Amino acid sequence: MREVLVLAFFALIAGAGTAVSPCVLPVLPALLSAAGSGGRRRPLGVVTGLTVTFTVTIVGLSSVVDGVGLGDSFTRDIAIVALLGFGAVVLVPKLADRVEAPLSRLARFGPQQTGDGFVSGLGVGAALGFVYAPCAGPILAAVIAVSAATGKTVVVGFAYAVGSAAVLFALALGGRGLLDRVRRGGRGAQVQQALGAVMVLTAVAMVFSLDTRFQTAIANHLPNAVVNPTEGLEKSSAVKKRLADLRGKSRFEVAQERADKTASATPVALAATDGAVTGSSDATPTPSQAGAGGGPGLPGVTTPKLAKLGDAPDFAGDGHWFNTADGRPLTMASLRGKVVLIDFWTYTCINCIRTLPYLKAWDAKYRSKGLVIVGVHSPEFDFEKKTSNVAAAIRQNKLRYPVVQDNDLKTWNAWGNQYWPAEYLVDAKGQVRRAHFGEGEYKQSEAAIRALLAERGDKDLGAGATATGTISVSKGQITPETYLGTARAQGWVPSGPLDGPHDYRAATGADLPLNSFSYGGQWAIDKESATARRAATIDVHFLAQHVYLVLSSRGGTARTVGVTLDGAPRSGVTVTGQRLYTMVDLPAPGEHELHLKLPPGVTGYAFTFG
């Protein structure tokens, strides 16, 4: 219960802050016009309709719309049509009477107080909810991400909507109070028609995207505290820490940390001289066993402690399977008796890509000994859900072990996983024995594989595997990853990206500090990605050896991104498919300034560095 209250509180405050940001300006004229006409209950109807539609959109409808390929423009079109229709009704009194009559008869099913307009207000409010939905900021994205894992998504989304609704309702009542004074002066009909005209003009402005241009002008000329009043909350370390605490660690991560602490406090006993694991199943070979008679140990490597972390969950969902007989799905029951390595990955993740040479080497070396590697492809971006894209990545990386698409993250959630990449090692009895997150510790992972193979009876394992095609990683501090969409953008100057089409002023030189990014030109940005429009550029001040960027090109048409490093032009990068592209590949890590010129139709998703 306490967890729900914390999540709802964050969402409530963020929603109220959003309602006083410039993002609400395209909604405000229509809101005040709709609430200022009709009966006394219309403001309540308008805000109620907006709240319901906004909640449904941000929590559920957005995924449905994306799934059928309609996108944000579809809901925006609905809003435009509704505003045009409602504005025309209010503008023409006779038409208003005809529409209001049947709607008012519905009032007998609702509140019986005097006044009218509640039901008709619901319609225009619902339309405004579609326009207002893109205002949902990064704080809502973070909170929804946490609440999804706890099953509280609707509660949190509703709290955000209520926070906004309270402020919008106050604005609607204040505006109506002012208009009532004008009406008492004998100008009620003129006020009614003027309000209808405002709604029609608002819809026309939306048709020509004048509302987003106005937002851009506001963003470029007002202080960031006014443009984004919730930024302090969004970037608060206390809020981020609290959300992370509420998300919690997976049970396997907690169990692994407990096992690691126990191992560091307990001396390791010498095992049998033939290299076999003896005694308890938690026993661990020591370096002295390394390579003895082809046994499980590896030279110079201490095998990690292999405690029992819990039963391995089964594969969930009905995702497509690759590299299995006739594409048939595997189950943990069917793999009983084998040592299983579950690898959570996604094909545009550079950290995941760098682990693949080792996975392929282990598969080639130990498959005949009883090891089964299963890649669980859990996508980060929508385009990573396409079966053809995943199949192409499997071919490109020459993966021969089974891979399953986990598009709905059902297997991801069953394991409580939170990382790309993540490896879970399962013994022949179906017990998870080791969990490792991120890159590195490849020798230790291989030693753990060999120990579990020996445990099931395969003691003569020969020499260790040799990975080829590995990618070097810069040592020390490098520029952290960031995203191009608004939901998770970090490090963008002079201010973060905004939802919708906007013009941006590039920051360069002293205005572009280390580990920062800057948009230039015209971009159309949503929660997940940014699409270049006119004179679109990105400037980056980074510290790394390699720069990677996830890109796609509309329609699969080849488009070339111009690359300039420290003022010197370099070979451009041709973008076709939706994947990770190497923008810069240097002989050694260093501090540099990168300038990218992206042609219209190229979409970017995330920067990573190595």
Residue 95, judged by CB atoms within 10 A of its CB (0-12, 13-18, 19+), counts as middle
Q: Are residues 429 and 505 in the same domain?
A: no
Q: Are residues 328 and 313 in the same domain?
A: yes
The mean pLDDT of 74-96, rounded to a whole number, is: 64
pLDDT at 47: 82
Q: Are residues 412 and 555 in the same domain?
A: no
Residue ending a domain, among 245, 275, 298, is: 245
Let me know if residue 470 belongs to a domain. Answer: no
Q: Are residues 443 and 515 in the same domain?
A: no
pLDDT digits (tens, 9 = 90+) for 416-475: 888 889 999 999 999 999 999 888 889 999 999 999 999 988 878 888 888 888 776 666
User: Which range has the worst mean pLDDT, 203-217, 226-240, 445-459?
Assistant: 226-240
pLDDT at 600: 95
Q: Are residues 366 and 514 in the same domain?
A: no
pLDDT at 3: 56
pLDDT at 273: 28
The mean pLDDT of 354-359, rounded to a whole number, is: 93
Let me know if residue 467 belongs to a domain. Answer: no
Residue ending a domain, among 214, 245, 276, is: 245
Q: What is the dihedral of CA 548, 549, 554, 556, to 10 degrees?
A: 20
pLDDT at 74: 53
| Mean pLDDT for the chain overall | 76
Q: Are residues 424 and 498 in the same domain?
A: no
pLDDT at 62: 41
Closest CA to 246 of 142, 144, 146: 146
Q: Are residues 211 and 84 in the same domain?
A: yes
Whether 442 contacts 466, CB under 8 Å: no
pLDDT at 229: 52
Q: From CA 445, how far away is CA 303, in angstroms rounded?
A: 8
Per mean pLDDT, which of 4-8, 23-27, 355-359 is the most reliable? 355-359
Within 8 A by CB and 6+ apart from 485, the residues are 497, 525, 526, 527, 528, 529, 530, 605
Q: Are residues 515 and 416 in the same domain?
A: no
Task: Domain of residue 446: give its range.
Answer: 251-455
DSSP state of 23: G
User: Which range has the worst mean pLDDT, 41-55, 169-183, 222-236?
Assistant: 222-236
Per mean pLDDT, which of 55-64, 193-202, 485-494 is the most reliable? 485-494
Three-state SS string over 362-383 comes to HHHHHHHHCEEEEEEECCCCHH
Let me know if residue 558 belongs to a domain. Answer: yes
| Both structure tokens of 148 | 């999804």
The mean pLDDT of 597-608, rounded to a whole number, is: 95
User: Which range has the worst mean pLDDT, 349-353, 366-370, 447-451, 471-475?
Assistant: 471-475
Per mean pLDDT, which of 86-90, 157-161, 369-373 is the most reliable? 369-373
pLDDT at 459: 75
pLDDT at 610: 87
CA distances to 565, 580, 584, 590, 596 from 570, in Å: 7, 19, 9, 17, 10
Let me know if residue 574 belongs to a domain. Answer: yes
Let me know if residue 155 belongs to a domain. Answer: yes
Identify the CATH number of the domain in which residue 293 sits: 3.40.30.10
Domain count within the chain:
3
Let me know if residue 471 belongs to a domain. Answer: no
Share of the chain above pLDDT 70, in %: 66
pLDDT at 33: 72
Let me know if residue 38 belongs to a domain. Answer: yes
Q: Are residues 133 and 206 in the same domain?
A: yes
Q: Are residues 263 and 407 in the same domain?
A: yes
User: Which is more confidently placed, 218 or 442?
Assistant: 442
The mean pLDDT of 252-258, rounded to a whole number, is: 82
Residue ending a domain, among 221, 245, 269, is: 245
Q: From CA 14, how far away is CA 243, in angstroms rounded?
A: 14
Residue 87 pLDDT greater than 90, yes or no? no
Q: From CA 210, how far away is CA 207, in angstroms rounded?
A: 8
If you compute the radius of gyration of the chain from its CA atoms, what whole number of angstroms results?
Answer: 29
pLDDT digits (tens, 9 = 90+) for 312-336: 999 998 899 999 999 999 999 999 9
Q: Are residues 347 and 370 in the same domain?
A: yes
pLDDT at 13: 76
pLDDT digits (tens, 9 = 90+) for 480-522: 999 999 888 999 999 889 888 999 999 988 899 999 999 999 9
Per mean pLDDT, which of 20-29, 210-219, 365-374 is the most reliable? 365-374
Q: Are residues 33 and 119 in the same domain?
A: yes
pLDDT at 26: 62
Identify the CATH number of the domain in which residue 569 sits: 2.60.120.260
Within 8 A by CB and 6+ apart from 358, the residues are 442, 445, 446, 465, 467, 470
Let me know if residue 476 belongs to a domain. Answer: no
